[in-house]
Amino acid sequence: MADHCQVDFYVLARPTQSPGELTCRLAMMAWEQGHRVFVRTEGEDEARALDQQMWDAPQGRFLPHGLEENDAPVCIAARAKDIPEDRDLVINLCTEAVPDPERFRRLLEIVPADSDQRTASREKFKTYRDRGLSPETHQMT
């Protein structure tokens, strides 16, 4: 159980910016810092696409990952509610908030440029704030 969960929202500025590419970069940085990463996707197709993308990105580097493989340093799963206890950092690509976010050290939310998905991100921001967390926002240019 984490003493405090740091919540960060990464806001993509343009529709051409890829949530998957940013997820790969963030997952690589987190893994290199010793975190056990869990990536929560909206659906199975998105999870499989991200799994494929992680084989190639970041370019020239290897990010150890797997689909629903709990022993991989970076685990990708669709709409998971039961995130394994050994994970301390979650990257959330779902439209719904992560259950019990305070049990993680870090929570990263990717905010797509699409206005409908931004509405869901605003709701997640409010949900985390209502739970006593202090989300921060980062504009990705």
**pLDDT exceeds cutoff 90 at 47:** yes
What is the rounded average pLDDT of the residues 122-139?
96
Query: 15: which DSSP letter?
Result: T
Indicate the average pLDDT of the chain: 92
Whether 37 is covered by a domain: the verdict is: yes
Q: Considering only CA atoms, which of 110, 123, 98 is closest in space to residue 13?
A: 110
Distance CA 96, CA 65 (A): 23
Distance CA 3, CA 104 (A): 8
pLDDT on residue 126: 97
Whether 111 is covered by a domain: the verdict is: yes
Whether 1 is covered by a domain: the verdict is: no
Whether 119 is covered by a domain: the verdict is: yes
Report pLDDT digits (tens) over 54-77: 998 878 889 999 998 778 999 999
Residue type, 7: V
Whether 125 is covered by a domain: the verdict is: yes
What is the rounded average pLDDT of the residues 104-130?
94
Helix (H) or strand (E) holding 140: strand 136-140
Lowest-pLDDT range of 2-6, 60-64, 131-135: 2-6
Domain count of the fold of the chain? 1
Lowest-pLDDT range of 19-28, 40-49, 87-96, 115-124: 115-124
Whether 130 is covered by a domain: the verdict is: yes
**In this structure, what CATH number is given to the domain that contains residue 114?**
3.40.50.10110
Boundaries of domain holding 75: 6-140
9 has which bridge partners?
Answer: 109, 137
pTM exceeding 0.85: yes
Separation in Å, CA 117 to CA 15, 111, 126: 11, 7, 15
Whether 72 is covered by a domain: the verdict is: yes
pLDDT band at 119 (very low <50, low <70, confident <90, very high): very high
The vertex-82 CA angle with 54 and 64, nearest 5°, equals: 20
Whether 110 is covered by a domain: the verdict is: yes
b/e code 119-130 from CB counts within 10 Å (16+ = b):
ebbeebbeebee
